[in-house]
Amino acid sequence: MFEKLKQAVCDANIELQRQRLVIYSWGNVSGINRKKGIVAIKPSGVRYDELTPDKIVLLDLQGKIVEGNLKPSSDTPTHLELYRNFKSIGGVCHTHSTYATIWAQACMEIPCFGTTAADYFYGEIPVTEPMAKEEIEQDYELNTGKAIVKRFKTIKPMHMPAVLVANHGPFTWGKNPDAAVESAVILEQVAMMALGTVTINPNSNQIDNVLLDKHYLRKHGKNAYYGQK
């Protein structure tokens, strides 16, 4: 019944490695069937070249395992919190990709320095607040999700399909698992360019709102005119 979802989640996880966003088992992608309320996610600690659709774990939105013999990713409670709160998303991705993690470690938002970012991210990439002692010690992964949701109080998730968890790394999302990985690839590229930009010119400015609107809306929304549709 969920074969297609499991295949899509398996493929998206393998794509993480192909795109060089992960080494070893450092990353995970999930997908959701909204109608059934079922989430499919990578098993914990399994390497990408050993991953097959039958190893993908199925859970309901409260975290109860519905199918699968392996433990789900230890980051599962973060994914579930995102699905519960961001109703428009269909896939979630977590990596420790080099440049996005660098910005997360510096606890700094990635400014929108150019149209490359503006084509996908409607503004600067947000970073979460550091978590409190008790949020770390108890239900850490759930609280990571809560920190993200809190940071998005005034941001629309589908306008900003990425966040940096402070001192940790990026989570990204999209309409499906594939799109979540695409967000992660583009975030990494944007993060790399932003590092270079501040290296050359520490006083670089974010792009003008007019240019941001132009590029973002050229690709998204009802007046989009990029691509074949």
Binding site residues, a second copy, CB under 8 A: 23-26, 43-46, 70-71, 74, 96, 98-99, 101-108, 113-116, 130-131, 133, 136-137, 140, 167-169, 182, 185-186, 189, 192-201, 204, 207-208, 210-211, 214, 218, 225-228
> Residue 105 Cβ, how far from a second copy at the closest point, in Å?
4
Asked whether 60 and 72 are in contact (CB, 8 A), the reply is: no
At residue 120, the 3 state secondary structure works out as coil
Whole-angstrom distance, CA of residue 69 vs CA of residue 55: 7
HSE value, Cβ hemisphere, 13 Å, CA-based, for 33: 15
139, 208, 213, 226: the active-site residue:
226
Nearer to a second copy (CB atom), residue 85 or residue 116: 116
119, 178, 208, 225: the active-site residue:
119
Nearer to a second copy (CB atom), residue 66 or residue 141: 141
HSE value, Cβ hemisphere, 13 Å, CA-based, for 13: 32
Burial class for 195, CB neighbours closer than 10 Å (0-12, 13-18, 19+): middle
Active site residue 226: yes
> Residue 205 Cβ, how far from a second copy at the closest point, in Å?
8
Active site residue 99: no
Nearer to a second copy (CB atom), residue 82 or residue 117: 117
Tokens found for residue 154: 């005034």
> Residue 34 Cβ, how far from a second copy at the closest point, in Å?
26
Q: What is the 3-state secondary structure (H, E, C) of 125-162?
A: ECECCCCCHHHHHCCHHHHHHHHHHHHCCCCCCCCCCE
> Residue 65 Cβ, how far from a second copy at the closest point, in Å?
14
Nearer to a second copy (CB atom), residue 1 or residue 136: 136
Torsion of CA 164, 160, 4, 36, to 10 degrees: 100
Kindly list the catalytic residues.
119, 226
